Amino acid sequence: MSSRALRQPLSLRLTSNIFLAFWCLVAAFPIVWIVVMSFKSPVDAYDSNALNVIMGPATLATGNGLSVLDIILGIVVIWGTVIVATKKLPSMVLSYTKPGQHWFGWIIGVLALLIGFLVVFFVVLPAVLNVLNPLFGPLGRDVLGLTTEHYKTVWVDRGFSSNFRNSLIVTAGVVTVSLTVGTLAGYGLARSGSTLAFWILIIALIFRALPHSVLVAGYLPVFINSAEWLSPILGDNAPTLYGKPFAVIAVLVAINQPFTIWMLRSFFQNIPAELDEAARVDGCNHFQAFRRVIMPVMWPGVITTGLFSFLLAYNDLLVTSLLLDAQNQTMVPAIVGMFNRETTTTDQVVAVAAAVSITAPLFFLVMIFQRQIVSGLTAGAVKG
Amino acid sequence: MNFRTFAAFVGPSVFMMLLFIAFPLVSVFKQSFYITQPIYETVEVETCTPGFLTQTCTTEEVSQPKLDEHGEVITRTEYVGLQSYLNVLEPERAWRAITNGEWNVLSTIDFWKALRFTVTFTLITLPLVVGCGLGIAVLINNAAKSIKGPVIFVSLLPFIITPLIGVLSINWLFRGDGILTATMEWWLQRDIALFAQAWTIEILMMLYRVWHVAPFAAIVFYAGLQTVNQDSLESAVIDGATRWQRMKYIVVPHLMPLIIFVSMIHLMDAFRTFEEVVGFSSQGYVISLQWLTYDFLVPDQAGNRSISRASASAMLTMIGIVILLIFPLRRTWRDHKGGH
């Protein structure tokens, strides 16, 4: 709004900002609220007074709580970590690694930071606070009820860690395979102006609209009986595809393919075709041009598309709940069993803790990759 | 690029789509005309209870599934034509209900109930999503530069969250004496049970959907707002256009392609709504088409999945999507042809 003619009156700006604040509240409230609930005892979590839910008197009464000092020092440690991560880490990575190997430096750096944070936050800090709290009188007394027992129940007793591992396997598989297959296809489609390419894209668009239940209805009988019809090819130890993670990976990759190729195609169209033409003039064939010229510059687009593949695989409920058996169950279908069970309020808060556990990785994902997600959302749309 | 190179690049992707999307489609279509059942045989079973002097024996005829030599149930697949469709649609009952004007009878048939909800859900949320998205985009665009980043971060959260978890988080706010229900009760001074009737659940589902999709629409529209021609806005001001008129005659037409894009994506996604039914555990009151298919596919108490009925309802869902998308698609097709 550089122009004077378009300057807005103060009242309008004020109203606009109030509405924006209201929207942010609406957007964040449900998520913030379940995070708060997950740390409280059931009595507090389901209290009808909002203040009681936040302060947690019943949780405090059982001896779980934080003092003012705890809160202050905790915030200081988290703030310090954020400062180190955003200010110090990039320059350190750049100075300690050779050009071209920055990614390796980043992995080491992030891991070191993560381990350092965990050690300081969960080992050093409690030990220091145990000594300090009695010394500070009223400041050292517990004021905010907070308990992590529900998380212990979820991860240790309910075996959520094995669900987490299965989710990890499925998402990692889906992201790798769908990017490998999709990148090639996206590049091919972006560089070919043929009618065939156009029709592949249109059919992919139609495939994107299909309800996933239609596809699963097609897989189920085939997967359950797969040992029978695979045995002529593979012999007696033909696998039953039903319940196997690799079968689900293949299915999710295929479901995701239409979206992936559309998105990657629009990214590849932004890379000037002159680049690979120059490489072709210098004597590369198409594959060499792709490998030597395109691959070094394609990563922003690939990372963005990978994020969306990750989200699809991570968030999927329908396919995983129907095609995986109990021992290979991923996190999202597992939580359905948790909250649908005939439950006490304790079980419900445990389900809340599980829900927060599922959300936490997504939260960090948005924090780190916000720019890529936004560019991904707009790439498909603005370029048509 | 010649055909062989093109095929080498695109081949794996096309192969996967054929194998895992096109082939299941064909097989679902075929399955919907066949039914696989265990073969039952009637056997006379003599059950004897010990009694005084003689045993009392009764023979009764029991029908039980036939077993082969490995002790597994023999199944038979037979062609039944449109029978599975008729089982899902129940056309006679539905027609009788329509001619008698008994809408509550029609809503006892699962398919029509699901269809009714899915269509109203899709069509009501569509304008809400576009409207809210546009509103939020304008608000973000108005905001000071320094707060845009954090605001976009917060806005992305509802969109990025696992749909089931999003539904559950809304559910926990309202379920029983959840915090928002309690607040509403305190405000209105009356008892509120939001999960005891269908229409309140439907409103909550729509609220969730708008909360979930509006950020996506907002981000897309916000990107579009950056490319609005500032000169035409300024000349509109000089011509005396009000804020509202500028919005209506310059900004919205500029965003029109994006609005169509968002609407199409939303139509596709809302028509296959599924997580809402699971997350709100609303199957007693409200079900959606995709949930109906899912329910047929989940094994029942005897461990049987009604695959053929699921296939029939899946095919019917697909027909619904085709009808829903045919108008926007025809429009884009015409634009595409006109543009070249």
Residues of A in contact with B35 (CB under 8 A): none
B82/A371 Cα distance (integer angstroms)? 51
Give the nearest partner residue to B1 out of A46, A191, A219, using CB atoms: A191
B88–chain A nearest CA distance, Å: 15
Residues of B in contact with A371 (CB under 8 A): none
Please check whether residue A184 touches B, CB under 8 A: yes
pLDDT value of position A342: 57
Confidence of residue B131 (pLDDT cuts 50, 70, 90): very high
Question: How would you class A81 by CB atoms within 10 Å of its CB: exposed for 0-12, middle for 13-18, buried for 19 or more?
Answer: middle
Domain of B255, in residue numbers: 103-339
| Contact call for B20 and A250, based on CB within 8 A | yes
Interval B102-116: pLDDT, tens: 777 777 778 888 888
**CB half-sphere exposure, B336, CA atoms < 13 A:** 9
Please check whether residue A204 touches B, CB under 8 A: yes
Residues of B in contact with A311 (CB under 8 A): 160
- The nearest alpha carbon in chain B to A19 belongs to B139
| Contact call for A366 and B157, based on CB within 8 A | yes
- Other beta carbons within 10 angstroms of residue A236's beta carbon come to 6
Residues of A in contact with B136 (CB under 8 A): 20, 23
- Supply A48's token pair: 């009808």
A151–chain B nearest CA distance, Å: 16
Residues 6 or more apart whose CB falls under 8 angstroms from that of A143 comprise: A55, A60, A65, A66, A67, A68
Give the nearest partner residue to B318 out of A188, A208, A214, using CB atoms: A214
Please check whether residue A297 touches B, CB under 8 A: no
| Contact call for A17 and B142, based on CB within 8 A | yes
Q: Is residue B197 part of a domain?
A: yes
B318/B138 Cα distance (integer angstroms)? 36
Give kind and range of the element (H or E) at residue B48: strand B40-49
Residues of B in contact with A367 (CB under 8 A): 153
- Other beta carbons within 10 angstroms of residue A341's beta carbon come to 11
Please check whether residue A192 touches B, CB under 8 A: yes
Ranking A94-103, A357-366, B194-203, B205-214 by mean pLDDT, the lowest is A94-103
Residues of B in contact with A16 (CB under 8 A): 138-139, 142-143
Average pLDDT, chain B: 81
- Supply A151's token pair: 């998380």
Q: Is residue B26 part of a domain?
A: no
| Contact call for B278 and A317, based on CB within 8 A | yes
pLDDT value of position A1: 46
Please check whether residue A164 touches B, CB under 8 A: no
In chain A, which ranges are E strands?
65-67, 142-145
Give the nearest partner residue to A362 out of B142, B161, B272, using CB atoms: B161
Interval B19-76: pLDDT, tens: 888 888 888 888 778 777 767 777 777 777 777 777 777 777 777 767 766 666 667 7
B292/B298 Cα distance (integer angstroms)? 10
In A41-141, which ranges are E strands?
65-67
Mean pLDDT of B77-93: 75
| Contact call for B293 and A217, based on CB within 8 A | yes
| Contact call for B12 and A181, based on CB within 8 A | yes
Ranking A371-380, B4-13, B112-121, B306-315 by mean pLDDT, the lowest is A371-380
Q: Where are the domains of chain A?
A: 65-145, 159-382
**Phi, then psi, of B196 in degrees rounded to 5:** -100, -10
Residues of A in contact with B163 (CB under 8 A): 315, 317
The CATH class for the domain spanning A159-382 reads mainly alpha
Please check whether residue A200 touches B, CB under 8 A: yes
Give the nearest partner residue to A33 out of B13, B157, B179, using CB atoms: B179
**Domain containing residue B134: CATH number:** 1.10.3720.10
A197/A39 Cα distance (integer angstroms)? 53
- Supply B193's token pair: 């049970």
A275–chain B nearest CA distance, Å: 15
Contact present, A320 and A335 (Cβ < 8 Å):
no
Give kind and range of the element (H or E) at residue B57: strand B56-65
Chain B interface, best mutation among A181, A189, A213, A222, by max B CB count within 10 A = A213
Give kind and range of the element (H or E) at residue B78: strand B75-79
Between helix B23-31 and helix B307-339 the angle, nearest 10°, is: 130
Nearest to A287 by CA among A354, A187, A361, A149: A187
| Contact call for B314 and A53, based on CB within 8 A | no
pLDDT value of position B184: 81
| Residues 123-162 (A) with a CB less than 8 A from some CB of B | none
Size of interface A-B (CB pairs under 8 A): 281
Contact present, A376 and A304 (Cβ < 8 Å):
yes
Residues of B in contact with A335 (CB under 8 A): 164-165, 168
pLDDT value of position B211: 92
Residue B278 has pLDDT above 60, yes or no: yes
Residues in a beta bridge with B61: B44
- Supply A166's token pair: 């299965």
Looking at the structure of chain B, the number of domains it has is 1
pLDDT value of position A384: 44
| Contact call for B258 and A192, based on CB within 8 A | no
**Can you list the residues of chain A whose pLDDT is less than 70?**
1-7, 63, 99-100, 137, 139-140, 227, 231, 234-238, 340-343, 379-384
| Contact call for A286 and B274, based on CB within 8 A | no
pLDDT value of position B72: 67
DSSP 8-state assignment for residue B101: T
Residues of A in contact with B166 (CB under 8 A): 30
Q: Is residue B275 part of a domain?
A: yes
pLDDT value of position B29: 84
Residues of A in contact with B165 (CB under 8 A): 332, 335, 355, 358-359
pLDDT value of position A238: 67
Report ipTM for this prediction: 0.83
B267/B244 Cα distance (integer angstroms)? 28
DSSP 8-state assignment for residue B43: E
B268/B286 Cα distance (integer angstroms)? 20
A270-307 CB burial, b ≥16 within 10 A, e <16:
ebeeeebeebeeeebebeebbeebbeeebeebbebbbb
Start-to-end CA distance of chain A, whole Å, equals 27
B107–chain A nearest CA distance, Å: 22
- The nearest alpha carbon in chain A to B336 belongs to A384
| Residues 16-55 (A) with a CB less than 8 A from some CB of B | 16-17, 19-20, 23-24, 26-31, 33-34, 37, 46, 48-50, 53
- The nearest alpha carbon in chain B to A193 belongs to B1
Q: Is residue B46 part of a domain?
A: no
Please check whether residue A212 touches B, CB under 8 A: yes
pLDDT value of position A282: 82
Residue count (chain A): 384
| Residues 267-296 (A) with a CB less than 8 A from some CB of B | 285-287
| Contact call for A382 and B271, based on CB within 8 A | no
Residue B340 has pLDDT above 60, yes or no: no
Residues of A in contact with B272 (CB under 8 A): 211-213
